[in-house]
Structure 1
């Protein structure tokens, strides 16, 4: 029997719905493609372009799925009892799949993170670039905040059972703690080291310091929570008696954190290795 006749026998009287379903899928693909081309011609940043693309894609396919269900509703109604039994079996067999969908609903409704945020999840650390119904994709970052060139993808179901840390919850600006190890041989000169670190941090963050402070103040008022002021602060971590660690907290744009860390570390390290004024011998007058 020819293939067309087999399909006709298998789906009697349902060809209109099959054609409608194919058209819906085609329209969804076309709409996603046209939206991506429209965004590529705009003058917005790559991060905002990615946010709009993911949001529009999810909305388009949600609408397509909703229409497809309504098209096949009358046919599915006849198999309600069978579908109930199959659904029960799928809940047992496909538990992970159901958890992924629930995880996507959790991300959509609660919004613990969004496209462009830097998150730490299990052993993963990276910037969120895609969120779909089943998985979240990250661009992996190293400890210095530099891209490693690797992509990380994890199922959304893990979000329901594992804690997550969002390193950029307050929008454009974020607080960043820069840790600089200091040799114990320099422990007698802590004041000079703190002053050098404060000067280096203030010099690096001066272009946006006032904007960052305004940003954190507005975020605290809107969210009704107490947030740091955004001012530069210096402290010491002496939890390990064999090592001293200077901690410099600065406010910086999320995308500039790696550059800020390198600049503050370099300037501080150069400053503390310069001989102190008291250590420079004064010139003796000639007889």
Structure 2
């Protein structure tokens, strides 16, 4: 059993099983008894001493705060590795929490699809693991396995040739300041929901993103970084539209000649 908002015991068992190490072997590595380790993992020890907290923090390369307050089994493998490399749970550019995600039984990242029905509630539910768990998921073996991807719907004609009703496949950006200028991105905003635009990165200088449409009928506008909840970099897009034949200039001239011949033949009959 664990107290509210204290995930320590559950995290210890999860991390040990993730490493595929027995309680006896881990106890030897930490220089504690197996009985003590078992009591910590099952929550029988309600108030671990500081020395034990430090042992686990050093061994798993995670901060004590993370071990206590973050529900690690809900995270994907990529996020765990980022935390172990010293990544902060509050990424640069925003007071953003750890990305809610879904994983396969062998701890690999899913590609979640934000459907049109789910789109309206994403800005409110993006940080809720239960909301994310309800999204359809896909496995796309062609995508890089060391990055996190998600699919979002495109609305309107501001980003032609990516048409209304298409889905963009995008990569999660934890550090917004490294996004290169001119990069198409899905930006999750507080007030405007899901926005797909070409981004000019002005975070360091002005604390804003310049949002640009590919369709020149739409004017660029500034978006304060304080309005941004998540930022996803464009990778590719998917559509179920039928392919249209491409008309070459030679093919067009041929059609014109056929029309001329038909008109000439018709005039001779009159």
Which TM bucket (shorter chain)? under 0.3
TM-score normalised to the size of structure 1?
Answer: 0.25
Larger helix proportion, structure 1 or 2?
1
TM-score normalised to the size of structure 2?
Answer: 0.26
Choose 1 or 2 for highest CA Rg. Answer: 1
